[in-house]
Amino acid sequence: MVAVTEEYLYQLCLDFMATFLNIDIEAQLALRSEDCVQHFAPASLNVPSKGNEDFTKHLGGLKDIIQEFRVFPKVIDGEKQIRVNAAKREVFLWANGKPTFKAEAKVGHEDEDWEYVGELIFVLTCNEEGKIERVLEFLDSKKTIELQGLAMKARANMMKNAA
Tell me, what's the pLDDT at 107?
A: 79
- Indicate the number of domains in the chain: 1
Residue 98 lies in a domain: yes
Tell me, what's the pLDDT at 158?
A: 82
**CATH number, position 107:** 3.10.450.50
Tell me, what's the pLDDT at 161?
A: 72
d(CA 121, CA 92): 7
Q: What is the mean pLDDT of each run of 10 residues along the chain (163 residues)?
A: 92 97 96 98 94 96 93 95 98 96 82 86 97 97 89 87 70
Could you please report the per-residue DSSP string of 6-55? HHHHHHHHHHHHHHHHTT-HHHHHHHEEEEEEEEEE-GGG----EEHHHH
Residue 135 lies in a domain: yes
d(CA 123, CA 40): 11
Tell me, what's the pLDDT at 163?
A: 66
Handedness of CA 143, 145, 149, 152 (dihedral sign): positive
Q: Do residues 4 and 86 lie in contact, with contact meaning Cβ atoms separated by under 8 Å?
A: yes
d(CA 19, CA 50): 17
d(CA 108, CA 51): 36
Tell me, what's the pLDDT at 104?
A: 87
Residue 158 lies in a domain: yes
Residue 101 lies in a domain: yes
pTM, 2 dp: 0.91
Residue 1 lies in a domain: no
Amino acid at residue number 11: Q
For 90, the domain range is: 6-162
